[in-house]
Every structure is written in structure tokens, then in C-alpha cells.
């Protein structure tokens, strides 16, 4: 039987507010954390907060006492227990399952990462600590339930910063497992990411010409798109998605077609300006999804290059730009070949 003890009894002093109750996506931080374990363990004990579908344990004056209270509420028959910070909602289920497997085999499993920052010791004469011998540890920390219970019952003192230090102090052994960089503990307001979604839509009609520009790629065709700029309808739709998500006015306001400054403008440059506008508002692009709607020309051979061009301007990996093309089965103006439309969805993250 697998169990989890979620520690949620802190005061959020450094955060300055109740961080566990802060919204994250469609839930609170704590609810996100708890829900990670529902499909993995048979019992979840939450220390300090009552959550539907879990067992409540009273918070103690220290972490040691809080976790000890949580362990006392674990049901008989528990073989492995994960002890996890309520303020770590980004741990993956894959890591949790790996830690349970490791603890089953070795008695403990502590996620850890090499320290990558320069570390100074400022006690007495300041000096740089050799980080090659340092690791930072995370939660969840998974143990044989009987052994971690024994560790608490035989603890030499109660001034432990986490359960790994207690376990090692009592048993003199520890199994460190590679953790995850994304498994961040929310301590300060800046640790809580802000995400915004924006939608963009644009449509341009065809006119006489010899090629269509989409995503900075010139596609040979017997027509071109009509517009004040180069009429890159794909770039325009993504521009509006970026501006919408960052709470800025649309491209018609940013780059009006009454201004000759933008006559024949390269729309990829306009997209770069939109990315900068979003940055000035405190956001950066995470990923983009866009669908191009037209009867012709055929776009599939050109999509990889479009994605590369857009990724470069958006400052993301090409894997974060997903493009698709579809038709309207010859229905309506687009189906009659009158033009091209694009619908985009853009995710931004606060910086």
C-alpha cells in the first residue's frame, strides 16, 4: 500500500500571503499538488488543511511535528510513504512513480539535483564553496513507512529541515535519485508562474500576383494575398494572439494600415515587435498553435520552414510551434479560393 503525506501547515511568511490558496490554472496551488497523488497512492494525508477525499492531520509548531502528526494518521498496511511539500505543484507523476519504485528497492528515494549556481559561505571570512560536491534535495521523499516512522520515534532532536536529514541521521544511509528542475517549491511570489492565453484571427483575400507569403516563406502560386504589409496572414494571426495574451491592443492599432511606415512591411518584423511589446508587459512566449485555412495552395511541404522561421522570432524552440493546414471542403469564400484565414492560440508566461 502506498500513501502520501502532504505538508501544508506553514505560514507562507516569505511569500507574504497564503501561497497554498493562490490560484494556479483552474485550482489552488495545494489542490494541484494533492491531485498529483490521487491516481498513484491509496491514501493521502494533508497536514494543516482539510481537502475532500483526503485524511486530515493537525499541523504542528515545526515541520518535524507536522510530519509526525501526518504519519500518525496513515492507515495500517502502508508499506511506502511519500512526504511532499504542499507548495510543490509542478512535480511530474513520472518522478513520483520512479521514487516509489526506488524506495521499494532501497528503503528511501530522495530527489536531488546538482547545484549549478556559485555558492558563497559568508560565515567568518567569505569563501566560495566547491559546488561539485553539493546537491540540493526536493520532495516528494519516499521511504519504507516502518523505517521513517522508526526514524521519527528515535530522532536525536527535532531541528531537521526535511526528512532526508532525519533519515540519514538515524540510519546513516540515503538513496539519492535524480530530481526535476521543474519541481520548484513556491517560496516567493516570483516562484508562482503567471500564464496567459491569447487568440488571434486574420483573413486576407487573394489578388493578382505570383506567390503567397506565410510564416516568412514565399510559396509559389498564381495569386498573392492583398494587404497593406506583405499580407503574411499567418504572422498576423500570431501577432494578435501574442498581443491578446499580453493584454495589448491588436495589430490594427499597433501597425495601422493608414501609416505608410508599414506599407509593404515584412510581417515577421512586425511579429518581432509584438514579442517585444509582450516582453515590455512582462510576458514571454511559451508555445503557439495555428491552423491555416485555405483551399490552395498546398502548404504541407512548407510547414517545417514556417515553423522554424516563427520559432526564431518568437524565441522558442521549434517544437513549441505547431502549425497545421486545412480546407473548408470547398464551402464558402475560402472554399471558393477567395483567400486564406488563420486561427492562432498563443500561451505566454510571466517573466
**What pLDDT is stored for residue 280 in this prediction?**
96
**What pLDDT is stored for residue 61 in this prediction?**
93
Q: Which residues of 76-103 are buried (b: 16+ CB within 10 A; e: fewer)?
A: eebebbbbbbbbbbbbeeebbebbbebb
Q: What is the enclosing helix (H) or strand (E) of 251?
A: helix 251-254
**What pLDDT is stored for residue 110 in this prediction?**
98
Grid cell 512513480 — which residue? 97
Instruction: Check if the beta carbon of residue 292 is closer than 8 Å to that of residue 340.
Output: yes
Whole-angstrom Cα distance, residue 45 to residue 35?
12
Please state whether beta strands 80-85 and 2-7 pair in parallel, antiparallel, or not at all (unpaired): parallel
**What pLDDT is stored for residue 24 in this prediction?**
87
Instruction: Check if the beta carbon of residue 343 is closer than 8 Å to that of residue 309.
Output: no
Whole-angstrom Cα distance, residue 193 to residue 284?
12
C-alpha cell belonging to residue 133: 560536491
Q: Which residues pair with 197 in a beta bridge?
A: 347
Whole-angstrom Cα distance, residue 19 to residue 87?
7
Nearest alpha carbon to residue 217 among 343, 344, 333, 323: 323
* Domains defined for the chain, CATH in brackets: 2-191 (3.90.550.10), 195-350 (3.30.1330.50)
Residues 6+ apart with CB under 8 A from 351: 279, 282, 283, 284
281 to 23, 236, 289: CA distances (angstroms)? 21, 19, 22
Please state whether beta strands 127-129 and 119-121 pair in parallel, antiparallel, or not at all (unpaired): antiparallel
The SS3 call for residue 100 is: helix
Angle of the 63-72 helix axis to the 145-153 helix axis, nearest 10: 130
pLDDT tens string, the chain, 351 residues long: the values are 999 999 998 777 787 788 999 988 889 999 999 999 999 999 999 999 999 999 999 999 999 999 999 999 999 999 999 999 999 999 999 999 999 999 999 999 999 999 999 999 998 889 999 999 999 999 999 999 999 999 999 999 999 999 999 999 999 999 999 999 999 999 888 888 888 999 999 999 999 999 999 999 999 999 999 999 999 999 999 999 999 999 999 999 999 988 888 888 999 999 999 999 999 999 999 999 999 999 999 999 999 999 999 999 999 999 999 999 998 888 998 888 889 999 999 999 988
Question: Any idea how long the chain is?
Answer: 351
Cβ-based burial of 153 (10 A; exposed 0-12, middle 13-18, buried ≥19): exposed
**What pLDDT is stored for residue 335 in this prediction?**
83
Residues 6+ apart with CB under 8 A from 110: 137, 141, 164, 174, 175, 176, 177
Residues 6+ apart with CB under 8 A from 239: 200, 251, 254, 267, 270, 271, 274
Instruction: Check if the beta carbon of residue 223 is closer than 8 Å to that of residue 212.
Output: yes
Task: Give just the sign of the alpha carbon dihedral 95, 189, 249, 231.
Answer: negative
**What pLDDT is stored for residue 201 in this prediction?**
97
Whole-angstrom Cα distance, residue 276 to residue 109?
44
Amino acid at each position: 500500500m502506498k500513501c502520501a503525506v502532504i505538508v501544508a501547515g506553514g505560514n507562507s511568511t516569505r511569500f507574504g500571503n497564503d501561497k497554498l490558496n493562490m490560484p494556479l490554472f483552474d485550482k489552488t496551488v495545494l489542490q494541484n499538488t494533492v491531485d498529483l497523488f490521487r491516481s498513484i497512492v491509496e491514501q493521502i494525508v494533508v497536514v494543516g488543511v482539510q481537502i475532500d477525499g483526503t485524511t486530515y492531520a493537525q499541523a504542528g509548531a515545526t515541520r518535524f511535528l507536522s510530519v509526525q502528526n501526518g504519519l500518525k494518521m496513515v492507515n495500517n498496511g502502508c508499506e511506502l510513504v511519500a512526504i511532499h511539500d504542499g507548495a510543490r505543484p509542478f512535480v511530474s507523476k513520472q518522478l513520483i512513480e520512479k521514487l516509489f519504485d526506488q524506495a521499494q528497492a532501497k528503503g528511501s528515494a530522495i530527489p536531488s539535483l546538482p547545484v549549478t549556481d556559485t555558492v558563497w559561505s559568508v560565515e567568518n571570512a567569505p569563501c566560495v564553496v566547491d559546488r561539485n560536491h553539493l546537491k540540493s534535495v526536493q520532495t516528494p521523499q519516499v521511504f519504507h513507512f516502518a523505517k521513517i516512522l522508526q526514524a521519527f520515534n528515535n530522532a536525536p532532536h527535532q531541528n531537521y529541515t526535511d526528512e532526508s536529514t532525519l533519515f540519514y541521521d538515524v540510519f546513516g544511509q540515503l538513496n539519492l535519485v535524480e530530481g526535476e528542475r521543474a519541481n520548484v517549491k513556491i517560496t516567493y511570489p516570483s516562484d508562482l508562474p503567471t500564464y496567459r492565453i491569447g487568440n488571434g484571427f486574420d483573413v486576407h483575400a487573394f489578388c493578382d500576383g505570383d506567390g503567397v507569403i506565410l510564416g516568412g516563406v514565399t510559396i509559389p502560386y498564381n495569386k498573392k494575398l492583398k494587404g497593406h504589409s506583405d499580407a503574411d496572414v499567418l504572422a498576423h494571426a500570431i501577432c494578435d494572439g501574442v498581443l491578446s495574451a499580453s493584454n495589448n491592443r491588436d495589430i490594427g492599432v499597433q501597425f495601422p494600415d493608414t501609416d505608410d511606415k508599414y506599407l509593404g512591411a515584412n510581417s515577421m518584423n512586425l511579429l518581432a515587435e509584438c514579442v517585444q511589446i509582450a516582453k515590455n508587459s512582462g510576458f514571454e512566449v511559451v508555445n503557439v498553435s495555428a491552423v491555416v485555412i485555405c483551399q490552395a495552395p498546398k502548404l504541407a511541404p512548407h510547414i517545417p520552414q514556417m515553423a522554424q522561421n516563427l520559432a526564431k522570432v518568437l524565441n522558442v524552440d521549434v517544437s513549441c510551434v505547431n502549425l497545421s493546414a486545412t480546407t473548408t471542403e470547398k464551402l464558402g469564400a475560402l472554399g471558393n479560393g477567395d483567400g486564406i484565414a488563420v486561427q492562432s492560440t498563443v500561451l505566454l508566461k510571466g517573466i
